[in-house]
Structure 1
């Protein structure tokens, strides 16, 4: 599918398609200033080299099986990303992930807006049948946001995550096209 530049706004926040000119800020905002909670909640490693990040970013821009959206605060600062990746066009399925870089941006509804906006794009524009994700059991805030956005738990990889102090489940969740249509239609009729 041909990728085009997409943009959405919410209370002064902006989410749009990644562009090559975003690469430096993506490295600085997303990987030079990682916080412990963000690392823990995403399973990310503590340090990435600039070369690792810029190579990854460039590869993402040219991958026809993914859509990378960046999230910006009202002042223009890049604060996160929302991604549809691992698209299987034949089965019309994909994976979803989101990350808000700054702890001060979490818990304000921005992530939930990005989750729903990206989900809607996946079904409306990409015509996907299934969108899935993984969330760690200790990330209760994200788990509740996914449930509220219509995702359903479909399984757990028990004790699959070592959190440096304890084991935790890796929860598998998904939303199907018909489930999205049903919830989307009831949202628009309210």
Structure 2
């Protein structure tokens, strides 16, 4: 079972039980504060709990032997997830992401540690040359976490995202394997 221990947290393979936690934070949490940062311009399609649980696949891989998502936990408490998805598998263009749902764990270095461990896992288990991420210019936390892991801004699409009636830039960042392990 995939399990990566950091100094503050653990990244681990998702279980069926994690689907209940994920569902809570995505659909039942009355505040849904994480959505203010994580793609607020993307409408969240509601799913009935049974449908969500049935579709949950903790064994999904982006490549053989490499999971597409790991759970972030602190002291056995689910706080979020790291994930990866293909932009273009033919050219090995993989994007990564992180969501810490529980706001009690914001601003404490948990996001940086989880994201760094995630990028290291992806580079260690694949032959990928580059990893990227996409966000919006209003998500200063994500851009700072990405920068701390060695990512650099590679593209900025001006005023491409609209949040609460205000336009923000779309931001793409990336890191090469050789840069990550300098």
Interval containing the TM-score (normalised by the shorter chain): 0.7 to 0.9
Counterpart of 2:132? 132
Larger strand fraction of residues: 2
Shift of 1:47: 6.3
* Structure 2: runs of 5+ lacking an equivalent: none
Whole-angstrom CA distance in 1 between matches of 2:46 and 2:31: 13
Which protein, 1 or 2, shows the higher relative CO under an 8 Å CA cutoff with sep ≥ 6? 2
Counterpart of 1:7? 3
Counterpart of 1:68? 69
Report the TM-score, using the length of structure 1 for normalisation: 0.81
Per-residue Cα deviation, 1:91-134 (whole angstroms, up to 9, x for no partner): 33311010000111111111100110011111112121111111
Counterpart of 1:186? none
Matches within 5 A, 1:18-167: 18-33=14-29, 35-44=31-40, 45=43, 48-49=46-47, 50-51=49-50, 53-58=52-57, 61-65=59-63, 67-74=68-75, 76-86=76-86, 90-167=90-167
Shift of 1:82: 0.4
Whole-angstrom CA distance in 2 between matches of 1:91 and 1:135: 21
Q: Which moved more, 1:137-146 or 1:35-44?
A: 35-44
Q: 1:83·1:98 contact (CA, 8 Å) conserved in 2?
A: yes
The ranges of structure 1 where at least 4 consecutive aligned residues each deviate by more than 6 angstroms after the TM superposition are none
- The 3-state SS of whatever aligns with 1:94 is strand
Q: 2:133·2:173 contact (CA, 8 Å) conserved in 1?
A: yes
Whole-angstrom CA distance in 2 between matches of 1:61 and 1:9: 20
Whole-angstrom CA distance in 2 between matches of 1:21 and 1:138: 33
Larger helix fraction of residues: 1
Counterpart of 1:187? none
Q: Which moved more, 1:28-37 or 1:107-116?
A: 28-37
* Structure 1: runs of 5+ lacking an equivalent: 183-190
Equivalent residues, number: 176
